[in-house]
Structure 1
Amino acid sequence: MSIRHGLLALLERGPRYGSQLRTEFESRTGSTWPLNVGQVYTTLGRLERDGMVVQDSEDTAGHSLYAITDEGREELRSWYGAPVDRTSPARDELAIKLAMAVGAPGVDIRAVIQAQRHHTVKAMQDYTRLKAQALDSGPADRDEVAWLLVLEQLIFQAEAEARWLDHCESRLVRLAAAATTDPAPAPPVKPRAKNRR
């Protein structure tokens, strides 16, 4: 997830200071990806170094306000216009866990899958409940629409994960069934010892 581009998008709406950017970022994403203020200021420092933002002025409380530059706007437009690259997918802890659990001694992989499925379905129900609450609250402003988009992505992602877990379980059942129907390999024949006289 690009914090860099998220901050540029917020700055395009006008100058902001770090804590304000953090609050608006979390509001827009429903605190799905919490930021700490140090992360925001580190990213602002890099953006400033790269000519994407400048310290514009201070507000009445003495906070340094950052503003997007023309280079920052161009970077933001490029980001909006380019598809998200899927050629180097992020590491997925669940996929790694299941890959390592296959054949691991003492690990009941079906129990691992069941525990994850329970967690995934509960998360999907929670996200769906949050979506219903958001829709019941009346007309949506820009931040509420953004939050709904994030929630719907989380719901679809949880649905896909549940389907994938079903697939993993059925594959393991087929593999186990195939292993029990295959004849066991014959034990190796030991060469006879020659009689010595």
Structure 2
Amino acid sequence: MSVRLGLLALLGEHPTGVYQLRKDFEVRTGGTWPLNIGQVYATIQRLDRDGLVEMAGELDGVELYRLTEAGTTELAGWWAGPVERGHPGRDELAIKIALAVSAPGVDVAAVVQTQRTESMRALRDYTRLKARAGTADRDELAWSLVLDNLIFATEAEVRWLDHIEAAVVRAARQRTTAPAEHHVVESAADQPHTGGERSRR
């Protein structure tokens, strides 16, 4: 997700310091997308530069930030609109599979099986976490919904790997049968049509 918009969403609730922003972000997402403090500082500085956040004083020596009017408008637009797909992100697995199926000497079935084993392991881990996740308060509910997203995405990945395996098998069959079919067609074309010629004579 966009860290920029995530921090805007948190600041939309109340003025917050940088360290607390990092903590709140990780608590609400269950640590799925961990942030380092330098990343949070850099993002806040850019938001300040762009006029979306501003200083809101200090509390116990901690500088607090809050949304400006422009920041509030930006956040409202994010809540109201869909997340745009744009260009697909670089998915290492998709790139690996795309290269594997066209690379000589690569056992694609073995690549798929290795990944399926890892995906199933991740799916079991997410499912166990989901069983323990609560929904009593908003932070627990947020983490539970993030887990749902991870589970659904991993299930889709396993289905995609099954599809790849089947597609590779079909492609291999087509490669082995195509030359034989081509030979049969050529052989038929090479035969003299003596019967037809005699009948016309």
TM-score by length of 1: 0.89
What amino acid is aligned across from residue 153 of structure 1 in structure 2?
A: N
User: Matched residues, percent identical?
Assistant: 58
RMSD over aligned CA atoms reads: 1.3
In the other structure, the counterpart of 1:171 is 167
Normalized per residue, the structure richer in helix is: 2
The separation in 2 between residues aligned to 1:10 and 1:86, in whole angstroms, is: 23
1:77 Cα deviation from its structure 2 partner: 0.7
Residues in 2 aligned to 1:103 and 1:86: alpha-carbon distance in whole angstroms: 27
Structure 2 spans left out of the alignment, 5+ residues: 184-201
Give me the whole-angstrom Cα distance separating, in 2, the residues matched to 1:84 and 1:115: 32
- Deviation of 1:45 after TM superposition, in Å, equals 0.4
* Equivalent residues in 2 for 1:7-156, closer than 5 Å: 7-60=7-60, 62-135=61-134, 140-156=136-152
Moved more, 145-154 or 81-90: 81-90
Question: Which runs of structure 1 show a deviation greater than 2 angstroms over 4 or more consecutive aligned residues?
Answer: none
Query: Which amino acid in 1 is paired with 2:30?
Result: G
The DSSP-based 3-state class of the residue aligned with 1:183 is: helix
Based on CA coordinates, which of the two structures has the bigger radius of gyration?
2
Structure 1 counterpart of 2:74, one-letter code: E
Amino acid at match of 2:89: A
Equivalent position SS for 1:5: helix
Aligned equivalents of 2:9 and 2:122: distance in 1? 29
Report how many aligned residue pairs link the two structures: 182
